Amino acid sequence: MTLFGFGQLFRGRPPRRLAPKDAYGLWAESYLPAAHNAVMAAEQSIVEPIVRASKPRRALDVGTGTGRYMPLLKAAGARQVIGVDLSLPMLRQNTSPARICADARRLPFRDAAFNLVSSSLMVGDVDHPGSWVIEASRVLADGGALVYSDFHPCWVERDWRRTFRTADGELVELAFHPHTIEQHLASLEDASFEVRAIREPRVASIPAPVVVVFHAVKRPR
């Protein structure tokens, strides 16, 4: 996820802009199951301690991709960890047997099936945070934790972009839906969540937050 500042001129051909599902299909082969850039590292430095403190037993990782967070959820104590992603090419790079191809807005699980739901930088792939937060609430037991991250709203203000290079060197821009923090908070409130923390980590030499992380707990209905 390269950051391009406002007014950045691309050398040579401009990047090809693709919808998330198409872009992930191209990116999957080279997408490592680890925090392989500064943005992901900043996000994980916040999320991992929250996950560990939540002491998960049954965990769902939404937008799991190649499975970066699945070992971390197991290390935090989860006896059951399931990963969900809409991209089959990404899931094929995931070595865990507990992975399912599904839409974050239509999760194929019963109500209250998990006590922790995590999601790393996936919500930018959906048009509104509420469309998946409601599903996260449905599959969470009362008192369960939701820990997720999104690209910070200042990406739009600074004209930052998500890009990667394909195996043949082509630069591709991965489109995303920007969301304000107020939209996230309203969605969490509507889905019966109590927000415990909002964190906005930065990357060295970049004068603005790059990610926003939400930690919320489902209130009993």
Q: Using one digit for the tens of pLDDT, what is the confidence trace for 24-49?
A: 999 998 888 888 888 899 999 999 99
Nearest Cα residue to 183 out of 153, 143, 147 = 153
- Show the tokens assigned to 205: 């030499």
Domains identified in the chain, total number? 1
pLDDT score at 13: 62
Q: 4 in a domain, yes or no?
A: no
Q: 202 in a domain, yes or no?
A: yes
Which residues, other chains included, contact 19 with Cβ-Cβ below 8 Å and sequence gap of 6+? 175
Q: 207 in a domain, yes or no?
A: yes
pLDDT < 70 regions, the chain? 1-13
Q: 11 in a domain, yes or no?
A: no
Q: What is the CATH number of the domain that holds 108?
A: 3.40.50.150
pLDDT score at 16: 87
pLDDT digits (tens, 9 = 90+) for 165-203: 888 888 899 989 999 999 999 999 999 999 999 999 999
Instruction: Find the domain containing 151 and state its range.
Output: 16-218
Q: 38 in a domain, yes or no?
A: yes
pLDDT score at 168: 84
Q: 157 in a domain, yes or no?
A: yes
